[in-house]
């Protein structure tokens, strides 16, 4: 059955169709994101092998098929095997014109958050960042005055009072640093795209990590040596990887382990709202063995000012999300205690990009 219509792929809710043998025959772009797999690779697969539902469903599902009636299941844990299950509401309905064929709709607030964050920075996040950018410059000026005044006062203070003036200076500088991070969003220029060797970027990030924030970490390289060049800005991609490595180092236990993994996924595509597909075959994973993200923030971890670390600014991953969005890529996270995976999916460099780059050498 051909369901490759814009309205089908524009549905924000994951939707799948199965035939009378319970095999998947079609799924929309939201379902591709939920399953982290392409429609091509899923079609023909038994649905119960790809979606695990923690509810006694088999008999009710069969009755719905035989009687041609819909089936509703609320607050069921639905998983795909690639991460923790998500509590969802299921709507299962027969297709009236094709006997035995059924449609699945999967919805939940958490799932909606996951789908949104996979497509870049949310509009609400952009608004928050824009407002912060406008305020940052105005706040930095009086902070400079406060810092200077505290330093002048410290020249005539007793040792006991010096502790308080030093605290004022230290906290003022910390706020200035936070504001400078906010300003990065506005100052970040569009990516200067060219062919990029992903492994060169990862190696630069790894070498920086092992002599700094990741000195106590074991970093394992698990690379696909045949990976073709990505299309992107090498410096901005380095910024992404450094940020992910720093997060992993802070999250992992002492002498923890980080795995840098690359591979090529031929069938991975990002479906846009208009139904068009964007191939994103280059996969980079940053995997740590830390305690996992705090409960309740996984769906919002790429939003500004959301942090899983004590005293964290919540701006690092928001900046990562913005850069990924500017590259036309996708970033997702799956986290359970003992294993957190940030997965970055990027486009391959086109022949035209490679040609122009080589001509300018």
In this predicted structure, the answer to whether residue 247 has a pLDDT above a threshold of 90 is no
Q: Are the CB atoms for 230 and 196 separated by under 8 Å?
A: yes
**Closest Cα to residue 187, out of 330, 303, 322, 300?**
322
Question: Who has greater pLDDT, 357 or 315?
Answer: 357
pLDDT at 18: 92
- Range of 269's domain? 194-359
Domain termination site, one of 117, 146, 172: 117
201 confidence band (pLDDT: 50, 70, 90)? very high
Same-domain status, 297 and 156: no
Domain termination site, one of 187, 211, 227: 187
Residue 253 sits in a domain whose CATH number is 3.30.565.10
Domain termination site, one of 91, 117, 143: 117
Same-domain status, 39 and 176: no
Q: What is the pLDDT of residues 114-140, one digit of tens each?
A: 444 444 444 445 555 555 566 665 677
Prediction pTM value: 0.56
**Number of domains observed in the structure of the chain:** 3
pLDDT at 119: 44
In this predicted structure, the answer to whether residue 226 has a pLDDT above a threshold of 80 is yes
Same-domain status, 171 and 277: no
Average pLDDT over the chain reads 79
User: Can you read off the two tokens belonging to residue 241?
Assistant: 């990887």
**CA distances (Å), 184 to each of 14, 130, 144, 180, 203, in order?**
35, 11, 19, 6, 24
In this predicted structure, the answer to whether residue 198 has a pLDDT above a threshold of 90 is yes
The arithmetic mean of pLDDT across residues 173-187, rounded, is 68
Residue 1: inside a domain, yes or no? no
Q: What is the pLDDT of residues 37-92, one digit of tens each?
A: 777 888 898 888 888 887 677 778 888 888 888 888 777 778 776 666 777 888 88
**Counting beta carbons within 10 angstroms of the beta carbon of residue 177, is it exposed (0 to 12), middle (13 to 18) or buried (19 or more)?**
exposed
**Closest Cα to residue 322, out of 86, 129, 77?**
129
The arithmetic mean of pLDDT across residues 202-222, rounded, is 90
Which of 33-47, 57-71, 173-187, 336-350 is most confident?
Answer: 336-350
In this predicted structure, the answer to whether residue 272 has a pLDDT above a threshold of 50 is yes
- Round to whole Å and give the CA distance between 307 and 287: 18
How is residue 23 annotated by DSSP? Answer: B
* C-alpha distance across the termini of the chain, in Å: 50
In this predicted structure, the answer to whether residue 179 has a pLDDT above a threshold of 90 is no
In this predicted structure, the answer to whether residue 177 has a pLDDT above a threshold of 80 is no
């Amino acid at each position: 059955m051909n369901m490759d219509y814009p309205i089908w792929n524009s549905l924000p809710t994951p939707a799948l169709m199965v035939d009378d043998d319970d095999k998947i025959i079609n799924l929309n772009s939201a379902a591709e994101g939920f399953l982290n797999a392409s429609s091509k690779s899923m079609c023909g697969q038994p649905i119960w092998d790809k979606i695990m539902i923690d509810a006694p469903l088999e008999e009710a599902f069969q009755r719905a098929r035989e009687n041609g009636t819909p089936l509703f299941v609320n607050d069921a844990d639905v998983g795909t095997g690639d991460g923790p299950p998500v509590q969802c509401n299921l709507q299962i309905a027969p297709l009236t014109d094709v006997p035995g064929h059924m449609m699945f709709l999967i919805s939940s607030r958490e799932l909606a958050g996951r789908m949104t964050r996979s497509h870049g920075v949310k509009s609400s996040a952009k608004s928050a960042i824009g407002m912060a950018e406008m305020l940052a410059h105005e706040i930095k000026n009086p902070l400079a005055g406060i810092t200077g005044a505290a330093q002048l006062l410290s020249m005539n203070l007793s040792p006991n009072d010096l502790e308080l003036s030093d605290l004022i200076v230290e906290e003022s500088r910390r706020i200035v640093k936070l504001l400078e991070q906010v300003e990065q969003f506005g100052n970040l220029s569009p990516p200067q795209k060219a062919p990029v060797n992903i492994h060169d970027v990862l190696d630069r990030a790894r070498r920086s990590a092992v002599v700094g924030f990741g000195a106590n970490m074991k970093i394992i390289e698990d690379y696909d040596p045949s990976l073709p060049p990505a299309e992107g800005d090498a410096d901005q991609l380095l910024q992404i990887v450094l940020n992910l490595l720093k997060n992993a180092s802070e999250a992992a236990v002492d002498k923890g382990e980080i795995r840098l993994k690359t591979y090529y996924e031929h069938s991975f595509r990002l479906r846009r709202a208009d139904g068009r597909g964007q191939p994103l075959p280059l996969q980079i994973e940053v995997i740590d063995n830390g305690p996992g993200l705090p409960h309740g923030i996984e769906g919002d971890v790429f939003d500004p000012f959301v942090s899983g670390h004590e005293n964290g600014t919540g701006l690092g991953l928001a900046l990562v999300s913005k850069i990924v969005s500017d590259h036309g890529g996708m970033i997702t996270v799956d986290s359970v205690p003992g294993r957190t995976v940030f997965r970055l999916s990027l486009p391959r460099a086109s022949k035209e990009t490679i040609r122009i780059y080589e001509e300018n050498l």
